Amino acid sequence: MAAIRTPVQVALNRTAIAAVLVITLIFLAPIYWIASTAFKPRNLATTIPPTVIFEPELSPFAKLFTKRSQLREAPTPEEYAAAPWWERLVFDGGEKVVRSGRGEIQLSAYPNRFLNSLIVAITSTVLAVGMGTFTAYGFSRFKVKGEQDLLFFILSTRMLPPVVVAIPMFLMYRAVGLNDTHWGLILLYTAFNLSFSVWLMKGFIDEIPREYEEAALVDGYTRMEAFFKIVLPEAATGIAATAVFCFITAWNEYAFALIMTNRRAQTAPPFIPSQVGSGLPDWTVIAAGTFLFLLPVAIFTFLLRNHLLRGMSFGAIRK
């Protein structure tokens, strides 16, 4: 049924749409900037005014994934013909820089750092959300002595800006050999996220009526079975939301990653700026690295969008 709308309503509606468009543009501008720079030829990356129309290239990505250090002459036609496709991309971009010192093509550290980021972020998210869910369930469903105090204590672990303890943490990590290890970062990020995860999950689990579990208990299930068969599926929305938040925190963390890691376990955030290097920075490579780095969070959030958007109150308990 088409609603009849007054001119005022139509005007209001159009204003709202215009406002949303403007806000969207403001928020998308930096992302467009990164994405477009990642596909620009190097000489167009820093022009003033900015180049908006250009022929996109993949050479920044080719450079991102390979090690290049030696400067040399432009390639001869034979060299060009013999070069693999990704190297040709770089030549096409007008660069003469391809080979490392010994003249071999090597994979850059970027894929490894990216993988480190994935390992650390995913593992710490699983741990924080898993432990957080169990803890929240306990607080939500059982009489816990000093519940309020314990919950406040858990929250209080977030009250100090984490960077304040970075140096002592680094010293302790070095003493126990946790610096520059995956487990070191995983432990750190899990601890960061746990208090947040407990509080968020407690809110979600409090929303799930006890009757669901009680029905399962009466119907012959143990509390553990009731938890896995009933509470977990019901809490899926909350778990998804909590996981997205924890993942984003762990994925984007920069300061501790910079201090605690330098090689083996280094994650992408401290690695990408380190590629600015000396001399003239190649912003297209930085942009390419950043662009790829943005994707996992976008994909993860996109995959969980249904869970994130679905309301909590789709259940069969009527309030």
Partner 1 sequence: MADIVLRDVEKFFGSVQVIRKVNLTIKDGEFVVLLGPSGCGKTTTLRAIAGLEDITSGEIVIDGKPVQNLHAADRDIAFVFQLYALYPHLSVFENIAFPLRATRQPRSAVERQVRQVAAALGIEHLLARKPGALSGGDMQRVAIGRALVRRPKAILMDEPIGALDAKLREDMRMELKRLHIENKSTSVYVTHDQVEAMALADRIVVMHDGVLQQVGTPSDVYAHPANLFVAQFIGSPVMNIAPAAVKTEGGRVRLALGGGAAAFEMPAELAPRLSATGAGGALSIGVRPEGVQLAREPATGTIDLEAHLIEPLGAYDIVDLKVGEGFLRARTPAGFVARPGDRVHARLDPAQTHFFDQRSGASLGIRLGA
Binding site for partner 1 (CB under 8 A): 209, 211-212, 214-222, 225, 230, 233-234, 236, 314-319
Helix, strand, coil percentages, rounded to 5, for the chain:
70, 0, 30
Q: Please give the Cα distance from 134 to 129 (Å, whole number).
A: 9
Spatial contact of 254 and 185, defined as CB atoms under 8 Å apart: no
* Nearer to partner 1 among residue 198 and residue 231 (C-beta): 231
CB of 221 to partner 1, least distance (A): 5
Q: Is 146 left (phi over 0), alpha (psi -120 to 50) or beta?
A: left
Is the Cβ of residue 187 or residue 308 nearer to partner 1 in the bound state? 308
Q: How far is the CB of 207 from partner 1 (least distance, A)?
A: 12
Quote the least distance from Cβ 236 to partner 1, whole Å.
Answer: 8
CA atoms of 1 and 15, how far apart (whole Å): 24
Q: State the nearest-atom distance from the C-beta of 237 to partner 1, in Å.
A: 10
Tell me how far, at minimum, the Cβ of 230 lies from partner 1, in Å. 6
Nearer to partner 1, 158 or 229 (CB): 229
Q: How far is the CB of 211 from partner 1 (least distance, A)?
A: 4
Q: Are 39 and 57 in contact (CB under 8 A)?
A: yes
First to last CA, the chain: 30
Nearer to partner 1, 147 or 211 (CB): 211
Phi, psi of 107 (to 5 degrees): -70, 135
- Of 308, 300, 299, 303, residue with least CA distance to 236: 308
Q: Which is nearer to partner 1, 119 or 217 (CB)?
A: 217
**Cα separation of 223 and 206, whole Å?**
16
Which of 282, 276, 277 has the alpha carbon at shortest distance from 46? 282
Closest to partner 1 by CB, 3 or 316: 316
